[in-house]
Structure 1
Amino acid sequence: MKDPIYKILLLEEDITLIKKIQQLLTLHNYDIITCTSAEEGIFMSRQYRPDLIVSGVRLRGGSGFHFLMELRNDPTLQHIPFIFISGKEGKEDMRMGMNLGADDFLTKPFKSKELIMSIKSRLIRFTIFNIQNRDRKHTTIVSMPVIAPEIHNKLSKTEFRIMQMIAEGLSTKEIAQTLNISIKTVENHRHNISKKLNLTGHNSLIKYAIKNLTQQYRILS
């Protein structure tokens, strides 16, 4: 008898890689849904309710980090097991991905067996979790912001709001439009935030925001 068919959502900007992984997983009796952008990924997640998600770090029109953040902030999707796949430069990506709640992280090039074993392991663990909790009459998943104390202590309300928007993936232009201020003003705020938090280097503020403005989840019975 064949194993049950699980539904897997696969997000990756590389169409060639999508086809290879899709072919592999189909051979192992998985039902595969594919897309290339974070926006489409959220839509597909809500429409098809996959049992597991495999996502690249680099996606069209965004990043896998921002996709994962939106997924974990949606009470109807935040429980889905999540596996990141990334290029050789994956050490920083791995640390950030795991901080955001990824369940596993595979660095390209990875072996087919590694991906299959990771998927099976996450699905088995999630199935056991569901069995253990299916008899609970009331189960609530609550999110608890993980915010470094220095952020609130050192930043003004406006600076903190801008930090949140940076963590959500908004560009300087989008932040300016949302807050109805000039791009120059946003750039000044970003400079001041970096200075207050002793951040240096390209993209250091973005990495800091994503790492420190994340969510943890607790299941309440």
Structure 2
Amino acid sequence: MSKILIIEDETAVRENLLDLLEAEDYDVVSAENGYLGTKWAMEHIPDLIICDVTMPEVNGHEVLESLRQNPETATIPFIFLTAMADKTDIRKGMALGADDYLTKPFQREELLGAIATRLARQQVTEQQSDQSSRQIDELKAQVSKLQQSIDEKDSLISQFQQQLNSAIPKINVALHLLKNRNADPEQYSYSVDLLQKAYAEEFSLLSQVEDLGELLADDDVELLRQLELV
């Protein structure tokens, strides 16, 4: 049920609007002046506001200007009621952000039609806003996931470089020892174990890298294949 706020200083007009809209099953609240109407709107956020233009102390234009400056009430559909048909007055209201302008005395069908139109447009706007918010949230999630993937790959590459730098000296030592044909069996066995350990460390790390071909140049991939590491 849509909640409508009526801001009208004339008792007869205010009560007539209350009866008319309640008969149409709207949830209707009224305020007898601009100050009370503005205060209630900011506290309760109605779905639509019907407001008289000419009121003492705080007039309709001032009410609308205050509400449009508040982010929580800035988009509430706003319909002016006025006994004046002055085009300058109408343009001023529209410039402040009024959605419609009805001249007193208004017809029942005219008022109900204006209300229905503004509420329908507001619903479409809110649906589009909700859809945009969902799309933004989904995009943020995708960006976050992508960033996490990039961070993980960067970390893995860093680990790979560190372990590779650590393994190369071991391999060089082992190869140097193996070149010594006079090495005793114990030294030979130690060299083989050292090579196997270095190989196992590199293979374990490489097995964690996804799409390794995208991270390495073609020549590097071919070299790893020749060494039977990929």
TM-score range, shorter chain: 0.5 to 0.7
> Given the alignment of the two structures, is residue 62 of structure 1 paired with residue 58 of structure 2, yes or no?
yes
The higher-RCO structure (CA 8 Å, 6+ apart) is: 1
Cα contact 2:42–2:67 (8 A) shared by 1: no
Please report how far the alpha carbon of residue 138 of structure 1 lies from its aligned counterpart in structure 2 after TM superposition.
Answer: 8.3
Correspondence for 1:95 among 70, 91, 97:
91
Equivalent-residue separation in structure 1 for 2:68 and 2:40 (angstroms): 15
How much is the aligned-residue C-alpha RMSD, in angstroms? Answer: 1.6
Residue aligning to 1:187:
none
Any gaps of 5 or more consecutive residues in structure 2? 136-230
Corresponding position of 1:130? 126
Whose Rg is larger? Answer: 2
Greater fraction of residues in helix: 2
Deviations 1:70-124 (A, max 9, x none): 0100011001000000004443321111111100000111101100000000000
Runs of 4+ residues over 4 Å off in structure 1: none
- Give percent identity, aligned residues only: 34
Q: Call closer, same or farther: CA 1:138–1:64 in 2, change over 3 Å.
A: farther
1:83 maps to 2:87? no
In structure 1, runs of 5+ residues without a counterpart are: 140-221
- Alpha-carbon distance change, 32 to 136 in structure 1, aligned in 2, over 3 angstroms: same
- Structure-1 separation of matches of 2:110 and 2:27: 19
Tell me the TM-score normalised to structure 1 length: 0.58
Q: Tell me the amino acid that sits aligned with residue 137 of structure 1.
A: S
Which range moves more in the overlay, 89-98 or 36-45? 89-98
Please identify which structure carries the higher strand content: 1
Paired residues for 1:135-154 under 5 Å: 135-137=131-133
Which residue of the partner structure matches residue 44 of structure 1?
Answer: 40
Aligned length: 135
TM-score by length of 2: 0.56
